[in-house]
Amino acid sequence: MASEFSGLGIAHQGRFTRLKWHRLRRSFKDPLFSAGVMAEGFRLGASTELDLRVRADGGFVVLHDEELEGETTGHGLIREALPETIRGLTLLEGGHPPILSEDLATMLQTAHPDALLQFDVKDELEAIGPRGMDHLADHFAGSSSSIIVSGADLDLIVAVKHRLPGVKRGIDPTGKLMDIYRNHGLNAVETDLRADIAGPTEPDTIYLAWPLVLQAARDGLDLVGLCHDVGRLVDAWTFNLKTPDAGFDEAEARNFSALMALKPDQITTDEPIATERAWAAISA
């Protein structure tokens, strides 16, 4: 019998919080970065996420690590590999071929209007270079409403703003904010986050680790509310259940309820269906 849960999100108190499929997964049982799961997400209108690495020709491949041997049957740096080489490889988990950016561009043409695909780009702008930016513009400008680009390199996000102005942009200042929190306190966190939001990236979405969001709220700073006040969306990452089939344990239920009370726009998880089901069980 089909599940009554889709993993798309959670309706609560008049709001809808999307559940983002981390690494193209609906479940830990799914292989990493599967084209089949991505196609299902596109069909349903899900919010999904994948990692991108630049290839030797300026195109991209859906992988996380810098070297091919981290996730595939290949060897060497991805940025030195040509697409024909990568097409001959398989992922160690799942045995399917890696997804190339050309494949992404083709599949995006069939996506549901509500579908949103996050490109979490792992390389810096210097490594991507003009050819990489040309590739993104040539292949994805027509699908701009279905894409959000994020990355650790803020120069890259600024470059995306100029080359693909219709594409949404996201930044993740979590690591920096946690250091500021430890060393300078909560007021400094607020000051720095406001500066990032007002900065040249002009982000649409702010990605924040959910433990940081909850700890700041306990100490008196609503990071989600701060972002909402200036018109930005918030993704709280990555909330995974220890035992997905069993639902939330007591601590997970407490933390997830506290997170939902802060009204994030999206929660990242590798178990969206189990998370939706677990929430239904405790909120019934």
Find out whether 127 and 79 touch, Cβ atoms under 8 Å: yes
Q: Are residues 54 and 109 in the same domain?
A: yes
Note the pLDDT tens digit of each residue in 58-95.
999 999 999 999 999 999 999 999 999 999 999 999 99
Give residue 2's pLDDT band: very low, low, confident or very high (50, 70, 90).
very low
Residue 219: CB atoms within 10 A of its CB come to 11
Query: What is the number of structural domains in the chain?
Result: 2
pLDDT above 60 (res 237): yes
115 SS3 class: coil
Find out whether 124 and 66 touch, Cβ atoms under 8 Å: no
pLDDT above 90 (res 248): yes
End-to-end alpha-carbon separation of the chain, Å?
22
> What's the mean per-residue pLDDT of the chain?
96
pLDDT above 90 (res 37): yes
pLDDT at 1: 35
Domain of 66?
16-169
Q: Are residues 127 and 190 in the same domain?
A: no
* Interior angle at CA 244, CA 14 and CA 175, nearest 5: 75
Q: What are phi and psi of 117, to 5 degrees?
A: -115, 120
Q: Which of 115, 144, 169 is the last residue of a domain?
A: 169
Domain with 26 in it: what CATH number?
3.20.20.190
Find out whether 198 and 223 touch, Cβ atoms under 8 Å: no
pLDDT at 38: 96
Q: Are residues 35 and 139 in the same domain?
A: yes
Q: Are residues 113 and 153 in the same domain?
A: yes
Percentage of the residues of the chain whose pLDDT score is greater than 90: 96
Q: Are residues 31 and 112 in the same domain?
A: yes
Model-level pTM? Answer: 0.96
